[in-house]
A and B are shown apart, each in its own frame.
Chain A
Amino acid sequence: MAEVLTHTTQATASHPEELNYLNENRGLKSWLFTVDHKRIGVMYFWTIMLMFFIGGVLALVLRTELLTPKQTIVDAATYNQLFTLHGAIMTFMVLVPLIPATLGNFAMPIMLGAKDVAFPRLNLASYYVYVCGAIMAVSAILGGGLDTGWTFYTPYSSTTGGGVSVMTMAAFVLGFSSILTGVNFIATIHKLRAPGMTWYNMPLFIWGMYATSVIQVLATPVIGITMVLLLMERLFQIGIFDANLGGDPVLFQHFFWFYSHPVVYIMILPGMAIISEVIPTFSQKPIFGYKPIAWSSVGIAVVGFLVWGHHMFVSGQSEFAAAVFSFITFLVAIPSGVKIWNWMATMYRGSISLKAPMLYAISFLLLFGIGGLTGLFLGTLAVDVHLHDTYFVVAHFHYVMMGGTLIAFFAGVHYWWPKMFGRMYNETWAAIACLLVFLGFNGTFLPQFILGSRGMPRRYYNYLDQFQFLHVSSTIGSYVLGVGLIMMAVVLIAPLMRKRYDAPSNPWGGASLEWTVSSPAPTHNFHHDPVVTHGPYDYKAARAAEKAGSHA
């Protein structure tokens, strides 16, 4: 395998200044008015990373406040604003668009053998809609402030002052961006596959993006109407969510969670989709159980719509409904389990290469495993009564959203970085950064399971003395995590300072279509329409094709 890689490196190094999507058209306007999915993906990438940085800084401030049981650096009202912002930014502005809009936009059309997504102008529009929504959200924060928690529960959110009204509109706008991406991807996957690429011949990344897009299209409008109704309630007291006016605050929660539960699957399915690419490639072995993994994505998408009430076990929802939701929640864990077993089976007796993408992927297996399993504790109705609104919940969702989605995202970024920017990063430092992230993450959130099960409530800025040790551990972990993330950023950005695009077309020995084009990708993806002759995990055939192709 090493000889094949060297062979490829030689072949591409003979054309160092070939035009690609980065250098073919220059100038700010060529970026701002681009309809190239790759450039749109890159613009999304930097914008979302900026929001991630802001959300991360907020988290570090929160953790610093929690170093002591009483007030440390901020007062209670400020603390409420901080966790609201951290949550709103991380969910709406980072995690929802994260993988679809960045890596999905960049890689998916190439993987399909297409020249672009189905609706390129709509794609650009989705980016600008996102930027508008983000600006509106920032205005809400700077204008009136927001302390309702990212969940906006009524009647507090329908009666309190501050920037809630503007924030509801920001969320509506951001939702639109998500919908446009979803519509685009579904049409692209249905209509723009290369000849020879049947549904069962697509990389599993595409199946994951498809399932994600279905959820985006079906669920997002409901948060849209929820925000509209909340705005109406604030402006006109229409009486829908406020019990004093004849409405039902639990109805708000039904509306909110009908979207917000599927949204967590919008977050995790693309992450799982990346893992389905990274693990086989770095095991040089076809994925185990292609069809079960493909259909489990669809299964998660569908069943994920049936469980939202598990966020409402103690809200005043009826016991009967709670029991039904709890039962179905157990079912939704099954397809996720299928994936984990299949990924592990893929690695078994594979030729494992522990490069950075694989290190993150293996971290994902452990961290998402913990996150997913702790979800079952919370899905158990009787147990949730004690764990609801404690740090156990906080730990659970950070394990799945950060330990799951974000770690998978990092795996995907390290995987496709050469294709996006044409340079390789330093493997050793990337591995060190991964280790710091892994240790820091566990250091931050593992203690929180214990805190929660011992009764530490979430969203509290002060606490009983007995919790201090675990809080301090968690905060120290968060600092390590922060250092690790910054190191990772430096590792990835440093090579971008080099002028030469010296990355090979296929540094990892991948078998899907994006590895057959140069790094960075050419502007139109393919010079001639590709015809698919082998499956996306047929590494043997891919190596043979590469050998044959390099003689041309």
Chain B
Amino acid sequence: MSDIAMPSGGAHDHGHAHDHPKFLQHHFHSAKQQFEASKLGMWLFLVTEILLFSGLFLAYFMLQARHPEAFISAHHHLDRTMGLVNTVVLLISSFTMVMAVQSAALSRTKATLAYLYVTLGLGGTFMVIKYFEYMHKIHDGLLPGNLYSYAGASVPGEYLFFSMYFVMTGIHGIHILAGMGVIAYLIYRTHKGDYSSAYYTPVDLTGLYWHLVDLIWIYLFPLLYLVS
């Protein structure tokens, strides 16, 4: 009804519905404002992921502090090579992901698709290697909590390490799978030609998420596999 003042220019007046791009939502004034709001929203979501994983890291540190010998002994069961390969795989996937974002931003559809496919493939590779690692543990009975049934010589309390190992890598793995799902969706949308320099927000936001998942692995790898 009665506004405080009428703006003089028509720059903010989006009364006509078809004059602005499809992707611009009605409550935003400009694509730039929408893009920046979306990025801020994504960073806030990443903060929640960081706090989520921080609880796991704290639990790990605490248990390790109370059972140092058990943890040292237990981590020898982990295959460092597989862990290292997985680390490299994820790092490369971060590279290909950011290249995908850049390609979308520069309207290079073919390059975007290529980089997204490679990122998806690398994510899959990570999960396959993880699968083999898990199979190995299951075979040996090196499992969390009440599933632990390792018969070999061990320091009491080793199962605590495996409890944390499976919970931490498991939750991380779920995040990788979710990311792969979203990347697959991005591939579908890119095929349809939905992304360009005007609008590539979903690719950018997915990239941020993927980098965070990589970041978490950057800390997980030395903690679980290397520290002795």
Report the bound CA distance from A396 to B18 in whole Å: 57
With both chains docked as a complex, state the minimum distance between the C-beta of A177 and any C-beta of chain B, in angstroms.
12
Dominant secondary structure at the B interface: helix
Number of residues on chain A facing chain B (CB within 8 A): 68
Report whether B40 and A190 are in contact in the complex, using a CB–CB cutoff of 8 Å. Answer: yes
For B1, give its contact among A191, A195, A516 (CB under 8 Å).
Answer: A516
Confirm or deny: A184 has a beta carbon within 8 angstroms of a beta carbon on chain B: yes
Least CB distance from A229 to B in Å reads 7
**Least Cβ distance of B34 to chain A in Å?**
8
In whole angstroms, what is the CA distance A487 to B157 when docked?
60
> Separation in Å of the B141 CB from the closest CB of chain A?
14
> Could you tell me if A246 and B160 are in contact, using CB atoms closer than 8 angstroms?
yes
Residues of chain A with a CB closer than 8 A to B56's CB:
225, 229
Q: A236-B163, A240-B163, A531-B7 are in contact. Are A120 and B27 (CB under 8 A)?
A: yes
Question: What chain B residues lie within 8 Å of A532 (beta carbons)?
Answer: 4
Question: Any chain A CB within 8 A of the CB of B144?
Answer: yes
Shortest B181–chain A CB gap in Å is 17
Which of B1, B28, B144 is in CB contact (< 8 Å) with A505?
B1
Given A187-B37, A191-B40, A239-B160, A221:B3 Cβ within 8 A: no
Q: Complex Cα distance A524/B27, Å? A: 9
- Whether A516 contacts B3 by the Cβ 8 Å rule is yes
Q: Is A220 an interface residue when CB atoms closer than 8 A count as contact?
A: yes
With a 10 A CB-CB cut-off, give which of B13, B25, B48, B145 has the most chain A CB atoms: B48
Known contacts A187-B41, A239-B160, A528-B13: does B52 contact A224 (CB below 8 Å)? yes
In the complex where A236-B145, A238-B144 touch, is A186 in contact with B3 (Cβ < 8 A)? no
Task: Determine, out of B60-68, B81-89, B117-125, B188-196, the stretch whose residues face the partner at the interface.
Answer: B60-68
CB-defined contacts of A221 to chain B, threshold 8 Å: 48-52, 55
Question: Is B163 in contact with A191, judged by CB distance below 8 angstroms?
Answer: no
Complex CA gap A529/B28 in Å reads: 11
Q: Are A239 and B145 in contact (CB under 8 A)?
A: yes
Contact status B62-A533, CB under 8 Å: no
Chain B hits for A479, CB < 8 A: none
A528 and B7 contact, CB distance less than 8 A: yes
Residue of A nearest to B157 (CB): A246
Interface flags, A285-321, vs B, CB<8A=1, else 0: 0000000000000000000000000000000000000
Q: How far is the CA of A532 from the CA of B2 in the complex (A)?
A: 13
**By the criterion CB–CB under 8 Å, are B146 and A236 in contact?**
yes
Is B52 in contact with A118, judged by CB distance below 8 angstroms?
no
Question: Measured between C-beta atoms, what is the minimum distance from A533 to chain B in Å?
Answer: 5
Hey, which chain B residues are within 8 Å of A120, CB to CB?
25, 27
Cβ of A141 within 8 Å of any chain B Cβ, yes or no, is no
Is B197 on the interface with A (CB-CB < 8 A)? no
Q: Across the interface, which residues of A come within 8 angstroms of B164, CB to CB?
A: 238, 240
Given A232-B145, A240-B163, A246-B160, check contact A526 B55 (CB 8 Å).
Answer: no
Question: A549 — which chain B residues lie within 8 A by C-beta?
Answer: 2-4
A546 at the interface (CB under 8 A from B): yes
Name the residue on B nearest A542 (C-beta).
B4
Contacts of B44 in A (CB 8 A): 182-183, 186-187, 217
Q: Mark B4-40, 1 if CB is under 8 A from A, else 0.
A: 1111000011000000000001111100010011101
Interface centre among A226, A239, A255, A550 (most CB of B within 10 A): A239
Interchain CB contact under 8 A, B1 and A518 = yes
Chain A residues lying within 8 Å of B135, measured Cβ to Cβ, are none
Contact A528:B3 (CB < 8 A) given known A229-B167, A237-B146, A238-B167: yes
Tell whether, in the assembled complex, residue B55 and residue A229 are in contact, meaning their CB atoms are under 8 Å apart: yes
What 8 pairs across the A-B complex have the smallest Cβ distances? Answer: A549-B2, A238-B163, A225-B55, A236-B145, A221-B51, A115-B27, A116-B27, A221-B52
Q: What are 13 A-to-B residue pairs whose CB atoms are below 8 Å?
A: A115-B26, A119-B41, A179-B48, A187-B37, A187-B40, A191-B36, A191-B37, A220-B48, A221-B50, A233-B145, A251-B59, A531-B3, A545-B4
5 further contact pairs, Cβ within 8 A, besides A218-B47, A246-B66: A186-B40, A228-B171, A236-B144, A516-B3, A549-B2
A residues whose Cβ falls under 8 Å from a Cβ of B: 11-12, 15, 18, 114-120, 122, 179, 182-184, 186-188, 190-192, 195, 217-222, 224-226, 228-229, 232-233, 236-240, 245-248, 251, 255, 505, 513, 516-518, 522, 524, 526-534, 545-546, 549-550, 552
